[in-house]
Structure 1
Amino acid sequence: MILLTGFEPFGGESTNPSWLAAEHAAQVLRGRGREAVAVELPCVFGRSADVLEAAIERHRPDIVLCAGQAGGRTSISVERVAINVDDARIPDNAGRRPVDEPVVADGPAAYFSTLPIKACHEAVAAVGVPVEVSQTAGTYVCNHVFYALMHLLADRRGIRGGFVHVPYSTGQAAGHGQPGLAVEAMAAALVVIATTTADTATDVRIAAGAEH
């Protein structure tokens, strides 16, 4: 079972392409004979992690692939690391704005994704969708969910998980004067990442780091 998640709209947006892409990707995966389900998460510190945990308990997935919007980025970003800090530049959808608070009290400083991130990068690039390995998932609700996911999976053997950021959709991009990507391309990337994870036991060793 593959569990995909995306977020509800936030920051004044009317849509969130991470949810649209996750929902579409789950449909494509089911059409290809794979068990898959999509769950929409609230863009709220704390509550988002609770909804994610409930979805994991309900669906018992083998793979959890969470997605979120990173407006201004130009590529699908396969995230490498989640850090144990909430530091919100803007309020979440419940008006909360934590500053320098841990995601999990007394949790480790960081967790690495357990997706085969390099193999996923290569597979997405091969289908013509712009992609990067990202070294930061920020400190907003996306990172909160990413860290909460990896903390949950640390005690659940056999489940792999990670986080992917998507750019603005093409419709959003036009309004912001920023780069954008079609939701269909985002969904295709999520499908490739999910299937690559399912079919890859050991990640490939290629350079995908950053100088800054």
Structure 2
Amino acid sequence: MMKKVLLTGFDPFGGEEINPSWEAVKRLDGIQTENIEMMAVQLPTVYRESIAILEQQIKKHQPEIVICVGQAGGRLHVTPEKVAINLDDARISDNAGNQPIDREIASTGPAAYFTGLPIKRMAERMKENNIPASVSYTAGTFVCNHIFYGLMDYIHRTSSTIRGGFIHIPFIHEQAMDKQAPSLSLDTIVKAIRIAAVTAAENEADLHIVGGTTH
């Protein structure tokens, strides 16, 4: 059965002219494989508003899987995230000037949600295709974690059968020209997200392998 996969990326933030999360997922908009149809939506890098728009798009498209993608400049790998925490604590302002400190995302929500995606399997598939990838256990406390938590809370509140999660990606090469920071090509990131989408569609269970860290 064909499954719908909703992909989201953010608009640029923090002084960047582009956001590789949106540049990558928009390349996959409308792409179909044997088992999935992908659609891409841009979200604003804004607390609260991003969740409201995501919920609207979920209701509109009725996907089976939702994968939100965000930029994590400085990371070496494509990193599927394990856990979202119920906390906004902004080091910088979002694109609407909001800078919450120690604020709960959902007052009635739990402290954290785990992803509904087979993230270890996704990372392994990426590595099999020569893409640097690893599981991450911290999505930060900016809008990326905010949307990840908001997605999982929506799924929980609505008793939805949607499986959802979040992937952080490094800078692309164009962004790193004037930075001492790791980067990947946009083509590589697009390939990684496509692999993640197909893997999530084909597998509900994750691999029982080591993926943790010591720090």
TM range (shorter): over 0.9
Structure 1 residues 151 and 13: alpha-carbon distance in aligned structure 2, compared to 1, 3 A threshold? same
Superposition RMSD in Å: 1.2
1:72 aligns with 2:74: yes
Give the deviation of 1:137 after TM superposition.
0.2
Contact 2:11–2:19, Cα closer than 8 Å, also in 1: yes
Where does the alignment leave 5 or more consecutive residues of structure 1 unmatched? none
In the TM superposition, 1:50-199 aligns within 5 A as: 50-154=52-156, 155-199=158-202
Find the partner of 1:43 among 26, 42, 45. 45
Where does the alignment leave 5 or more consecutive residues of structure 2 unmatched? none
Contact 2:7–2:25, Cα closer than 8 Å, also in 1: yes
In the TM superposition, 1:25-40 aligns within 5 A as: 25-27=28-30, 29-30=31-32, 34-40=36-42
TM-score for the superposition, normalised by structure 1: 0.96
Task: Report what 2:21 is aligned to.
Answer: 18
Listed one character per residue, the Cα deviations across residues 6-59 of structure 1 (whole Å, up to 9, x for unaligned) are 0000001110000011111335x3266732110000000000111101100100
Alpha-carbon separation, structure 2, partners of 1:201 and 1:7? 26
Deviates more, 1:171-180 or 1:59-68: 171-180
Give the deviation of 1:134 after TM superposition.
0.2
Give runs of ≥4 in structure 1 deviating > 6 Å.
none
Q: For this pair of structures, how many residues does the alignment match?
A: 211
Alpha-carbon separation, structure 2, partners of 1:31 and 1:197? 13
| Residue identity opposite 1:4 in structure 2 | L
Identical amino acids, percent of aligned pairs: 46
Task: Find the residue that maps to 1:133 and give its secondary structure.
Answer: coil
Listed one character per residue, the Cα deviations across residues 153-205 of structure 1 (whole Å, up to 9, x for unaligned) are 11243210100000011111122221001111111111001100100131110
Listed one character per residue, the Cα deviations across residues 71-103 of structure 1 (whole Å, up to 9, x for unaligned) are 000110110000000000000000000000011
Contact 1:121–1:133, Cα closer than 8 Å, also in 2: yes
Contact 2:35–2:201, Cα closer than 8 Å, also in 1: no
Alpha-carbon separation, structure 2, partners of 1:200 and 1:31? 15
Give the deviation of 1:210 after TM superposition.
0.4
Contact 1:70–1:165, Cα closer than 8 Å, also in 2: yes
Listed one character per residue, the Cα deviations across residues 79-135 of structure 1 (whole Å, up to 9, x for unaligned) are 000000000000000000000001111210000000001111111111111001000
